[in-house]
Structure 1
Amino acid sequence: MLVPFLIMLREGLEAALIVGIVASYLKQTGRTQWLPAIWSGIGLACLLCLGIGLGLDLISAEFPQKQQEMFEAAVGLIAVGILTSMVFWMKKAGHSVKSQLHGAIDEALRPGARQGAALVGMVFFAVAREGLEAVFFLLAVFQQSSGSGPVIGAAAGLLAAAATGYGLYYGGMRLNLRLFFRITGLFILVVAAGLLSGSVRALHEAGLWNGLQATAFDLSAVLPNDSAIGSVLTGLFGYQDTPSVGEVSAYILFLALSLPLFLSDARRPLIARPRSGT
């Protein structure tokens, strides 16, 4: 439940920041008549993400066991790629998001017959990118979890992101965005390592990967998966009480490569928060 909550909080807040920057700039430049276009773009992006998520979930339910494992592995690998690229994109480009969006708005609203459509499209693609990242991650988590906890966590994270976004731009709320994205970025990389390890396991169960299958360690007598702590660790970090050498190797190698890169050069803030109404 905690992992979907934090992922949706981060993804939702990124989308809220983008929408807030666009809305604030329109207000600052006296173009508030275009604000409805923002909501149109958001609505279309949400419908697209919801449709893709439901479609993928329905398709996977029809697969026989082997194909389900293959699908689970593919979705997990896609989620790892998306989550990793998201973290490093925000680290690299987050400080210039505001200026980039301002330039994109000016370009979209240049005099012409398609001003509204251009602005809708800009907001649509910005929000859809965040939404599709969340869709693939949640699908991977739902496939490796059971019960209603992940759904409740995701919904709570989205509501918390919406409330935080509203507070930032309309309620005078203060948030250290640099610290927030750094902490959640570290957490997401650890989660992605767990998803990668789970994908290696799914590839083996699908019969596509049979190397490094010796048991790395056996903690089933000390910390089994179905224990209280084991269940929490499994849900958070993809813990397994008897992982294979391949699963552990994938987990460690991913973190050994990604964490040093992410922790390097932490000097500049990620996003400059605009002030609404100025």
Structure 2
Amino acid sequence: MLLSSALIGLREGLEAALVVSILVAFLVKTDKRASLRWVWAGVAAALALSVGFGTVITYTSTQMSFEQQEIFGGTMSLVAVAFVTWMIFWMRATARTIAAELRGKLSEALRLGPVAVVLMAFLAVGREGLETTVLFYANVEAAGQGTTQPLTGFLIGIGTAVVLGYLIYRGAITFNLGKFFKITGVLLIFVAAGILGYGLHDLQEGRVLPGLHTLAFDLSGPLPEDSWVGALLKGFFNYSAQTTVLQAVAWVLYVGLVLTLFLMPRKASTPAPAGEAPARQPVTVKEN
């Protein structure tokens, strides 16, 4: 679970870091540094909401019976899958325009006043925070008790994202964000498929779905989960040595459908007028 948690932390953390960088860079460029405090207030409120939400769902699950915990965990896993699926397609569609959209929203918020700026920053970062909380919770549940790998991987991913976000803002590094989000999107599809399988298994154990003892395969002998290969597969793909038919079918259908749609070529954009350079994928948010 170290690798998948690190990927979640890196992807979600970098999205949030880029959002904050764009907002800060816009205020610096337009000489409205006095409003930075309102942006940071919104960011802090969003982080507090995310931590609070994570605390609530963790505490809630510990007060339940076994079957209730399985149902709750399975439901949260399905919510996490829905979040990550929506997120990768949203970023695929808006990566080229997100900076302009955020600047436009911030300009309007500045016109309305400090409260609007706080709210705008809160909403922009809060969505990423809630997505991250649900994904992290689902990954921790899949890892089981007694391991710190999900937390370790998540902190590594978040820390790397913060550093990359800062370096991009300062102009110290540039890279193709479109390719980055495409590659991480593909990897997250496989992570989400694993979370989907685990969530369905939880619902089967909670007696919401049938087929708990109808196995598609049992590899606990040749490829146990505690072997190095099994641990690697479980850490990234949420591999289960004993996989039910429902889990296997759902995994194949999800990966087959979502991966195909995600990699499907997008419609060509409208050609730029003669003499005008075509739009490029933004690779930096630094404003001079």
Bin for the TM-score computed over the shorter chain? over 0.9
Contact 2:76 2:134 in 1 (8 A): yes
- CA drift of 1:175 comes to 2.0
* Aligned match of 1:262: 262
* Aligned match of 2:135: 137
- CA drift of 1:271 comes to 5.5
Identity among equivalent pairs (%): 36
- CA drift of 1:25 comes to 1.3
- CA drift of 1:127 comes to 0.7
Post-superposition Cα deviations, 1:16-53, rounded to whole Å, max 9, x if no partner, equal 11111111111222212111111111111111100110
Counterpart residue identity of residue 276, structure 1: K
- CA drift of 1:161 comes to 0.7
Distance 1:68 1:166 in 2: 39
Structure 1 vs Structure 2 CA RMSD:
1.7
Contact 1:224 1:230 in 2 (8 A): yes
Report the 3-state secondary structure (helix = DSSP H, G, I; strand = E; otherwise coil) of the residue aligned with 1:216.
strand
Length-normalised TM-score, structure 2:
0.91
* Aligned match of 1:12: 13
Match status 1:182 vs 2:192: no
* Aligned match of 2:274: none
Distance 2:71 2:257 in 1: 26
Report the 3-state secondary structure (helix = DSSP H, G, I; strand = E; otherwise coil) of the residue aligned with 2:218.
coil
Distance 1:98 1:53 in 2: 29
C-alpha distance 184-8 of structure 1, shift in aligned 2 (>3 A): same
Distance 2:178 2:197 in 1: 29
Counterpart residue identity of residue 115, structure 2: A
Runs of 4+ in structure 1 off by over 4 angstroms are 266-271
Distance 1:39 1:106 in 2: 16
How many residues are paired up? 275
Distance 2:247 2:128 in 1: 28
Match of 1:276 among 266, 274, 286: 286
Distance 2:133 2:285 in 1: 31
Distance 1:21 1:232 in 2: 36
- CA drift of 1:247 comes to 0.5
Superposition map of 1:120-131 within 5 A:
120-131=118-129
Counterpart residue identity of residue 46, structure 1: L
Contact 1:21 1:274 in 2 (8 A): no
Distance 1:270 1:165 in 2: 19
Post-superposition Cα deviations, 1:104-123, rounded to whole Å, max 9, x if no partner, equal 0111111x5xx111111111
Counterpart residue identity of residue 9, structure 1: L
Q: Which runs of 5+ in 1 are unaligned?
A: none
